[in-house]
Amino acid sequence: MNLSESARAVFAVLAEAGTATRPQLAAGAGLSKPTVSSAVAELEAAELAACSGTASGATGRSAAVYGLGPAAGAVLAVDLGPTHTQVRGCALDSTLLAQGTGSREEAADTVRKALDALPAGAPLRAIVVAVGDVIAQDEGGAGMHPATAKAGPAFDAMAVALPPGVPVHLENNVNCAALAELHEGAARGRQTFGYLRIGVGIGLGIVVGGQVLRGANGAAGEVARLPYPWDEGREPRQEALEEHIGSRSLLRRAAEAWRDADGPCPRTAERLFALAEEGHATACAVVGRHAADVGRLAAAVAAVLDPGLIVLGGGTGAYPQLLPGVRAELARLSWPTEVVSSTVGDSGTVAGASRFAVDRGIQTVTGGMRVKH
């Protein structure tokens, strides 16, 4: 888009603020008032900004309030989860425009319905899809791990619903959830922390200085690749740690520990944790062992990153019954590190993906000026 540098700077400030007066835009962009006036006129002519009303200042004088115009457009975020797909459409000021949820098999239809709900004629600036394995991200886009059988076919089936010509960026789903925890979850006000997801699989989102750390290959936080087991006489196997800590192994251990007198064996993690909450002895023992395993992984995270805060999330990680055992094992093995449960719930991944999508969408207008995440 052929905008002046000052217009791009003002647009970035306006998108982040949602609404602003010219003095506020001048302060945010670090530009003079005359320069901002010219930039606003340029944005209005392109329908990227529009006057949305007036506000009275301290002196009683009224000032025009500006918001994004109809040509600013929208973005789409998709969480392609293991069982369900969540979709959000947002304006570039992060206003929610559309959302939907469906099964993984209904991903294409869920995306189509969200796209149909977006304002007619609004250009779609960017699409972000949160998947399980992403590598080799760069300024031009992202790549999916060639061995990602978990996401590949599902992504291909969903992609038929995406409009052609719109940039599609893949983001790691754990990184997306970490971003949501930073802005609206358990890590608000903390610029450095680790988001440890424990569910069917395991993963770590790393935030340092308010920025999501991706690593040289886009694979930072792939704790499933930590060598395990690692002792005399046993060779580490690829992703063996994920297999050991994942929810399938948790339920298998519960089945092995269960006795006839314990009643029906839980078939879901939800039921297992509910029994532990009720004080069921065998369920408490199984959950306690799981908490110790997660605590050891948290100790490895603390040893490498010293994050100060670890947020536990995911299908099993978010259960508060884990906290005492995780905290105790981490304290035994490492230095003091705060551990809390996630507060963003199942919507965390799509919420974070929406923030990434808004960032990408703004960049299409500003020619690369970034919104900090």
**pLDDT tier, 21 (very low <50, low <70, confident <90, very high otherwise):** very high
What percent of the chain lies above the pLDDT cut of 90?
A: 82
Shared fold status for 73-178+348-366 and 186-343: yes
**pLDDT tier, 154 (very low <50, low <70, confident <90, very high otherwise):** confident
Q: Give the model's pLDDT for residue 78.
A: 97
Q: Where are the domains of the chain?
A: 5-71, 73-178+348-366, 186-343
Amino acid at 326: V
Instruction: Show the beta-strand stretches assigned E in the chain.
Output: 19-21, 49-56, 62-68, 74-80, 84-91, 96-103, 124-131, 134-138, 141-144, 168-172, 193-198, 202-208, 211-212, 309-313, 338-341
- Which CA distances in Å does 112 have to 76, 86, 109, 138? 11, 12, 5, 28
Tell me the per-residue pLDDT of 155-201, one tens digit each, with 9 for 90 and over.
888 999 999 999 999 999 999 999 999 999 999 999 999 999 999 99
Alpha carbons 222 and 244: distance in angstroms, whole number: 15
Distance between start and end Cα atoms, the chain: 23
Alpha carbons 347 and 178: distance in angstroms, whole number: 12
Rounded to the nearest 10 degrees, how much is the dihedral formed by the CA atoms of 295, 301, 302, 308?
Answer: -100
**Which residues, at least 6 apart from 250, have a Cβ–Cβ distance to it below 8 Å?**
269, 272, 286, 290, 316
Q: Is 56 exposed, middle or buried (0-12, 13-18, 19+ CB in 10 A)?
A: exposed
pLDDT of 140 strictly over 50: no
Q: Is pLDDT larger for residue 144 or for residue 282?
A: 282
* φ, ψ for residue 312, nearest 5 deg: -95, 125
- Which CA distances in Å does 276 have to 45, 186, 285, 298, 350? 62, 24, 8, 22, 30
Alpha carbons 157 and 43: distance in angstroms, whole number: 38
Token representation of residue 112 = 């189509």
**pLDDT tier, 230 (very low <50, low <70, confident <90, very high otherwise):** confident
Q: Are 67 and 53 in contact (CB under 8 A)?
A: no
The mean pLDDT of 339-359, rounded to a whole number, is: 95
For the stretch 142-150, contacts whose Cβ atoms lie closer than 8 Å and that sit 24 or more positions apart, written own/partner, are 142/169, 142/170, 142/171, 142/218, 143/170, 143/218, 144/170, 150/82
Handedness of CA 343, 347, 349, 354 (dihedral sign): negative
Q: Are 197 and 177 in contact (CB under 8 A)?
A: yes
- Does the domain at 186-343 match CATH 3.40.190.290? Answer given as no
Topology adopted by domain 5-71: Arc Repressor Mutant, subunit A (1.10.10)
pLDDT of 136 strictly over 60: no
**Side-chain half-sphere CA neighbours of 225 within 13 A:** 6
Q: Give the model's pLDDT for residue 22.
A: 93
Topology adopted by domain 73-178+348-366: Nucleotidyltransferase; domain 5 (3.30.420)
3-state secondary structure of 189: coil
Tell me the per-residue pLDDT of 257-270, one tens digit each, with 9 for 90 and over.
999 999 999 999 99
pLDDT of 133 strictly over 80: no
pLDDT of 372 strictly over 60: no
Q: What angle do CA 82, 85, 88 make, to 5 degrees?
A: 140
Tell me the per-residue pLDDT of 36-81, one tens digit each, with 9 for 90 and over.
999 999 999 999 999 988 887 666 678 899 999 999 999 999 999 8
**pLDDT tier, 82 (very low <50, low <70, confident <90, very high otherwise):** confident
pLDDT of 316 strictly over 90: yes
pLDDT of 137 strictly over 70: no
Q: Is pLDDT larger for residue 347 or for residue 145?
A: 347
Alpha carbons 120 and 87: distance in angstroms, whole number: 18
Token representation of residue 296 = 């050891």
Per the prediction, the chain carries an average pLDDT of 91
β pairing state of 124-131 and 168-172: parallel
> Which of 14-18, 132-136, 139-143, 241-245 has the weakest average pLDDT?
139-143
Q: Are 88 and 77 in contact (CB under 8 A)?
A: yes
